[in-house]
Amino acid sequence: MKLSFRRLLALAAVFAIAFVAVTAIRTWNSGGSLRTLLPWLSKKSGDFHPLQVTWPEKAPLDLGDVELLSRLNNEYAKLTEAVVPSVVSIDTVGIGREQGIDIFGQIRIRDYPTQGQGSGVIVAKEGYIVTNHHVIAGSQKIKITLHGEKTYDATLVGEDTLLDIAVLKIDSNETFVPLKLGDSSQAQVGQIVFAVGNPFGLGETVTQGIISAKERSLSDTQRDLFQTDAAINPGNSGGPLVNLRGEIIGINAAIFSRDKEKPAFQGVGFSIPSNDVKDALFQILERGKPIRGFLGVKLNDLDQRSRAILGYQEENGVLILNVFQGSPAQSAGLQAGDIVRVVNDEKIHSTTQLLSLLQRTKVGTVINLDVWRKGKSLKISATIAEAGVANPAIAVPANPTAQSRTMTPDEAWKALGITVRDLEPAERAGGFQGVLVTSLTDDGIAKSRFLPGDLIVTMNNSPVISANKFRIDLSAFAAAQDTTLNVVREGQLFRALIPALPRQQ
Active site residues: 134, 164, 237
Q: What is the enclosing helix (H) or strand (E) of 8?
A: helix 3-29
Q: How many CB atoms lie within 10 A of CB 138?
A: 13
Q: Which residues pair with 251 in a beta bridge?
A: 240, 272
Is the Cβ–Cβ distance between 458 and 384 less than 8 Å? no
Distance CA 498, CA 307 (A): 20
| Tally of CA atoms within 13 A in the half-sphere of 244 that contains its CB | 12
Q: Which residues contact 262 (CB under 8 A, 6 or more apart)?
A: none
Distance CA 242, CA 271 (A): 11
Rounded to 5, what percent of the chain is helix, strand, coil?
25, 35, 40
Q: With CA atoms as reference, report the closest residue to 179 among 130, 231, 106.
A: 130
DSSP secondary structure letters along 228-291: E-S---TT-TT-EEE-TTS-EEEEEEEE--S-SSS----S-EEEEEHHHHHHHHHHHHHHSS--
Distance CA 266, CA 58 (A): 39
Q: What are phi and psi of 196, to 5 degrees?
A: -120, 135
Rg of the chain over Cα atoms, rounded to whole angstroms, equals 33
Is the Cβ–Cβ distance between 205 and 240 less than 8 Å? no
- Is residue 34 helix, strand or coil? helix
Amino acid at 404: S
Q: Which residues contact 176 (CB under 8 A, 6 or more apart)?
A: 86, 122, 125, 126, 127, 146, 170
Length of the chain: 505
Distance CA 489, CA 496 (A): 11
Q: With CA atoms as reference, report the closest residue to 498 among 453, 421, 437.
A: 437
Is the Cβ–Cβ distance between 215 and 184 less than 8 Å? no
Q: How many CB atoms lie within 10 A of CB 488?
A: 16
